[in-house]
Structure 1
């Protein structure tokens, strides 16, 4: 019944070599992956859609202030408004209780327009670069 929510490639792209096909996602899972990609993409990174993305990577070393949290919330709201028409964003909240561990939690609550179903999406945003890479 929810075929109209869309079907797309999974992310990262995965292939079924037995059937020579691409693993696809659909419905609410496709929306969740779309949000993940939207928040992780830098504006200008996609050549054919240069405005797509959030530029969250620019905020990596910024101090956690009310201005910082408001700015991130507005970037996310704008990106979803323009690039994810299947949902209505109800709220964006930023939990900075783990900031001493080097990350904040961005939580989105949204409603899928065609089914009027509410969902949550949690995006961990790491404030420091990886230092224990081997």
Structure 2
């Protein structure tokens, strides 16, 4: 059983399970994207700290940095489950939108997951 993210309790009072393997992989990607390295005590290298770059000036260099950062973090953490095919990131004001196109290695199926986060000022 894969635990649902964010953590919650189901109707029976037990830890909720992820709806499907695809949903679980999407939830894992979200955790990697929005966790700051060092935030997890026992896994200090987990995450990519994407939200720290939201207020950086938009440029082609920032877009390339975001793509490399996300791709590297996902490959390091989920490289046995997925192959990252493409990453795009856009920030407008305090809103960050990231799209990740990936291939699930077990099934060789291609998926796209989009994530939107608003950063408090």
Question: Which TM-score applies when normalising by structure 2?
Answer: 0.87
Q: What does residue 15 of structure 2 align with?
A: 22
The answer as to 2:87 corresponding to 1:87 is no
What are the ranges of 5 or more consecutive residues in structure 2 without an aligned counterpart? none
Larger radius of gyration: 1
Query: What is the distance in 1 between the residues matched to 2:10 and 2:105?
Result: 32
Deviation of residue 125 (structure 1)?
4.2
Deviation of residue 106 (structure 1)?
1.5
Q: What does residue 117 of structure 1 align with?
A: 109
The answer as to 2:63 corresponding to 1:72 is no
Query: What is the distance in 2 between the residues matched to 1:15 and 1:125?
Result: 24
What are the ranges of 5 or more consecutive residues in structure 1 without an aligned counterpart? 1-6
Q: What does residue 129 of structure 1 align with?
A: 120
Query: What is the distance in 2 between the residues matched to 1:36 and 1:11?
Result: 9
RMSD across aligned C-alpha pairs, in angstroms?
A: 1.7
Deviation of residue 95 (structure 1)?
4.0
Note if contact 2:54-2:95 (Cα within 8 Å) is conserved in structure 1.
Answer: no
Question: Which TM-score applies when normalising by structure 1?
Answer: 0.80
